[in-house]
Structure 1
């Protein structure tokens, strides 16, 4: 699927395929996420979204225009084999505007176009309610894997119906 524009809040949001020059902005978005503050900070402290990652996976960004130009408001990364929503982040200041829901809908469309009927998500604990709200079904629990991730995480699945 190519880029898509949708009005969310006051300004239109465009979803487009990420490119290598987005890598630093995506890395900053991950590392600066308020959802990973406090006890969760270690999970993203050294995390890097590199150009190689962007090239290897279906990574898309939600971009909104502001006074300084285009601003990345969120992004997702879909791994095709095995099918998994590997990353989904919305900038703290852009949350609550429907951008996460827009990214999920785009991901589902990309998954459908790739012939997938299911997409797994290993969720961050604070995102659990979000995945419920956007239609993911809880399928299990990913056990802690210290020191990288010292807590259990809920596992969800998006079921992708054919068109």
Structure 2
């Protein structure tokens, strides 16, 4: 059994730099392309409908992932309302919480918002059930396509995430990783 990885991007612009960065992080953490990429800018008005079937299915798929990379540009020192609309659909008490690991990732124009992933996105991911085992990642917009912008964080995060994904697989398969 391999880890199921989901990427959720809350940039209101489709196919954004945030999407590129999030897919890169997922690929670097797992060694594979993500199984599911949710570019919320392409989901449409269903995000505003409480019982939209397509959104409900996306929530179920993301909730079932072993690893979720949740990404947003930094807007007003926090993540976007678009991402908030989606994350509000997760309710651990009602069986729709995240059950795996999550990594908060945010892009921003300057280093003044470097703590935004830790201070704003990490708490909500934890609140909806995820285990967030590594510090959030902040990347400057201008460096989103520069692999070296991720290297130091990946060197610290990759062993932790890999070990926890291996342990999760072993638990879910009864000890056979």
Higher relative contact order (CA 8 A, sep 6+): 2
Larger fraction in helix: 2
Q: Relative to total residues, which structure has the larger strand share, 1 or 2?
A: 1
TM-score (norm 2): 0.33
